[in-house]
Amino acid sequence: MRGAIAAFLLLAAAPAAAQQVDVTLEVETDGTRTLVHEVTIPASQQEVWTALATIEGWRTWAVPLARAVSGSTDRFETAYDPAAEPGSASTIEQQWIERAAPDSVSFRTTRTPDGFPHADAYVRVTSRFLLTPVGDAATRVRLTGSGYPAGPAGDALIGFFREGNRLSLQQLHKRFAEGPIDWTAPRP
The predicted-structure confidence for 43-91, as pLDDT tens digits, reads as follows: 999 999 999 999 999 999 999 999 999 989 999 999 999 999 999 999 9
Domain, as residue range, for 19: 2-52+97-178
The predicted-structure confidence for 97-124, as pLDDT tens digits, reads as follows: 999 999 999 999 999 999 999 999 999 9
The CA distance from 93 to 113, in Å, is 9
The predicted-structure confidence for 143-180, as pLDDT tens digits, reads as follows: 999 999 999 999 999 999 999 999 999 999 999 999 99
Residue 18: its pLDDT value, please?
63
Residue 187 burial (CB count, 10 A): 9
Does 10 map to a domain? yes
Does 57 map to a domain? no
Does 146 map to a domain? yes
Does 78 map to a domain? no
The CA distance from 108 to 148, in Å, is 12
CA distances (Å), origin 2, targets 65, 97, 169, 176: 19, 28, 22, 30
The CA distance from 141 to 143, in Å, is 6
Q: Tell me whether residue 81 is exposed, middle or buried, using C-beta atoms within 10 angstroms of its C-beta: 0 to 12, 13 to 18, 19 or more.
A: middle
111 neighbors 92 (Cβ within 8 angstroms): yes
pTM: 0.88
Number of domains in the chain: 1
The CATH number of whichever domain residue 136 belongs to comes to: 3.30.530.20
Closest CA to 148 of 22, 24, 63, 9: 24
Which run of H or of E encompasses 49? Answer: helix 45-53
Does 116 map to a domain? yes
Distance of CA 178 to the CA centre of its chain: 19
Over 70: is that where the pLDDT of 188 sits?
no
Does 45 map to a domain? yes
